[in-house]
Amino acid sequence: MTTGKDQNMTSFSEKITGIYHFLTDRTPGDTSLVNPRPRPVNPWHREGKPVVARVTAGDDLRESVRNAFSLLGEPQQFITKGETVFVKPNFNSPDPYPASTDMEFLRTVVEWLLEAGARVTIGDSSGGVWRPTRNVLSKLGVYDLAKKLGVELIAFEDNPRDWVRVKIGGDYLKLATMPRSTYQADKIVYLPCAKTHSLSQFSGTLKLVVGFMHPGERRALHLRHLQQKVAELNLCWQPDLVIMDGRKVFVAGGPEKGQLAEPGVLLASGDAVATDMEAVKMLLEYGAEKSLPADPRQLPQIATALKHGLGAPDGDYLLVE
């Protein structure tokens, strides 16, 4: 089964606007130069290894999300009441889930964070041909959801002052212009979808960070060594928590349309690389062997991330179910 642009169709004029943004967006010239955020301490380890929780999602999504987190530990290990938590979903395009984050999944996670005492901000920036981001957020109903939940919603490019230049110091990227609102947040939560990707082979936790990068820098990102650059973007900062939605996935094609499979799985971890490694294994279980290597460590974005110490040594982690 293949699914793709069966709703929220993009008009011709919107396509022209998107192409204009893709070709003309420029980074602001007066941004502050900053060091990467300090790497967070992952509180979820067992037997000296980071933990990845994997649960089968039932009809009650709220209960499934709670079950995934309960396999990791207590909420108090992650969040203190009153902290600002920045939530990064996947709204690259206006295409339906799993191309974009499922709105019920987003609502469920944000409500859980609010109940834990967090002050939540949601933010993203869409891909070049779909910008401006506010159009994507409007089509998907994100503004309505944020209003109902009483949380802030940011389309990054709408605020020209909401940027800092982060000194990455990677082999392929030396600097990256990223949102100040995320850089200054107390905690960061990623809500990636799991899917294959026609340009980067795989899109998960590491790839989600491209949505932070200033649109004016993304053209060069895609010219050469895309997967290595994707991994090095993660040197800017790392998430405190990842909750990946693998209920529906693309096992070929992607990111906006592809061959659909339904593992019915949620993954949760404090380790972005380990989450992606388990997600690749999951996609392989459901028919992605023509798109992905049998060993996740052979995927260039994961190999590069491990090289920079972004995951546990050799990508070793403990799966709990």
Nearest C-alpha neighbor of 291 from the set 202, 193, 192: 202
Tokens 């955020």 label which residue? 37
Whether residue 173 lies inside any domain: the answer is yes
* Mean pLDDT of the 284-305 span: 96
pLDDT of residue 6: 44
Window from 7-11, 157-161, 165-169, 255-259 with minimum mean pLDDT: 7-11
Tokens of 181: 């609102």
Average confidence (pLDDT) over 266-288: 97
Q: Which residues of 30-53 are buried (b: 16+ CB within 10 A; e: fewer)?
A: ebeeeebbeeeebbbbeeebbbbb
Return d(Cα 190, Cα 215) in angstroms, integer: 19
Q: Is residue 18 part of a domain?
A: no
Specify if 182 maps to a domain.
yes
> Would 28 be classed as within a structural domain?
no
Residues 43-79 have pLDDT tens digits of 999 999 999 999 999 999 999 999 999 999 876 778 8
- pLDDT for the residue numbered 17: 64
CA-CA-CA-CA torsion for 259, 263, 264, 268, nearest 10 degrees? -110
The whole-angstrom separation of Cα 140 and Cα 7 is: 10
The reply to whether the predicted model has a pTM over 0.85 is yes
**Range of weakest confidence among 2-11, 25-34, 125-134, 267-276:** 2-11
**Exposed e or buried b per residue across 189-203, where buried means at least 16 C-beta atoms within 10 angstroms of its C-beta:** bbbbbbbbbeebbbb
Position 7 pLDDT exceeds 60: no
Residue 296 lies in domain:
33-320
Query: Does residue 118 fall inside a structural domain?
Result: yes
Residue whose pair of structure tokens reads 């993954």 in the numeric block = 267
Q: How large is the average pLDDT for residues 87-104?
A: 96
Residue 3 has a pLDDT of 53
DSSP secondary structure letter of residue 155: E
| Residue at 23 is within a domain | no
CATH number of the domain that residue 127 is part of: 3.40.50.11440
Given a contact cutoff of 8 angstroms between Cβ atoms, the answer to whether 191 and 104 are in contact is: no
Distance, CA of 158 to CA of 171 (rounded, Å)? 30
* Cα–Cα nearest to 9, from 156, 150, 139: 139
Domain contains 153 = yes
**Model confidence pLDDT, tens digit, residues 159-210:** 888 999 999 999 999 999 999 999 999 999 999 999 999 999 999 999 999 9
- Joined tokens for residue 28: 């602001």
User: Of 5-19, 82-96, 274-288, which gets the smallest average pLDDT?
Assistant: 5-19
Tell whether 126 is covered by a domain.
yes
The tally of domains found in the chain comes to 1
